[in-house]
Amino acid sequence: MKPLRLGTRGSALALWQANTVAALLRREGRDTELVTIRTAGDRIQDRPLSETGGKGLFVKELEDALLSRAIDLAVHSAKDMSVALPPGLGIAAVLPREDSRDALVLRAGETLPASPAVGTGSVRRSAQLAVRMRSARFLPIRGNVDTRVRKLDAGEFDALVLAVAGLKRLGYAARISEAIPHDDCIPAPGQGIVAIETRIEDLADEVWRAINDAAAAAAFDAERAVVEALGGGCQLPLGAVAVPEGGELAMQAIVTTPDGSRRIRRAARGDAARPVELGRRLADELARGGAIEILNSLR
**Residue 235: per-residue pLDDT:** 62
Using an 8 Å Cβ cutoff, are 72 and 203 in contact? no
Stretches in the chain below the pLDDT threshold 70? 41, 43-55, 232-235
Residue from 250, 244, 287 nearest 267 by CA: 250
On the question of a common fold for 1-95+193-212 and 213-299, the answer reads: no
Q: What is the pLDDT of residues 33-87, one digit of tens each?
A: 999 999 876 766 555 555 445 557 789 999 999 999 999 999 999 999 999 999 9
> 72, 80, 158, 221: which one is catalytic?
80
Question: What is the CATH number assigned to the segment(s) 213-299?
Answer: 3.30.160.40
**Residue 231: per-residue pLDDT:** 84
The packing angle between helices 214-230 and 291-298, to 10°, is 70
CA separation, residue 236 to residues 38, 118, 297 (Å) = 24, 19, 11
**Residue 45: per-residue pLDDT:** 56
CA-to-CA distance for 259 and 298, rounded, in angstroms? Answer: 12
Angle (CA) 40 9 45, round 5°: 40
The torsion of the CA quartet 47, 49, 52, 55, rounded to 10 degrees, works out to: 160
| CA 85 to chain CA centroid, nearest Å | 16
Task: Please report the DSSP string for 186-217 in residue order.
Answer: PPPTTTT-EEEEEEGGGTT-HHHHHH--HHHH
DSSP 80: G
Please state the pTM of the whole predicted model: 0.92
Q: What is the pLDDT of residues 208-219, one digit of tens each?
A: 999 999 999 999
CA-to-CA distance for 176 and 163, rounded, in angstroms? Answer: 10
146 sits in which H/E element: helix 145-153
Question: What is the CATH number assigned to the segment(s) 102-180?
Answer: 3.40.190.10
Question: What is the CATH number assigned to the segment(s) 1-95+193-212?
Answer: 3.40.190.10
Pairing outcome for strands 176-180 and 102-106: antiparallel
Domain ranges of the chain: 1-95+193-212, 102-180, 213-299
**Residue 130: per-residue pLDDT:** 93
Is-catalytic flag, 80?
Answer: yes
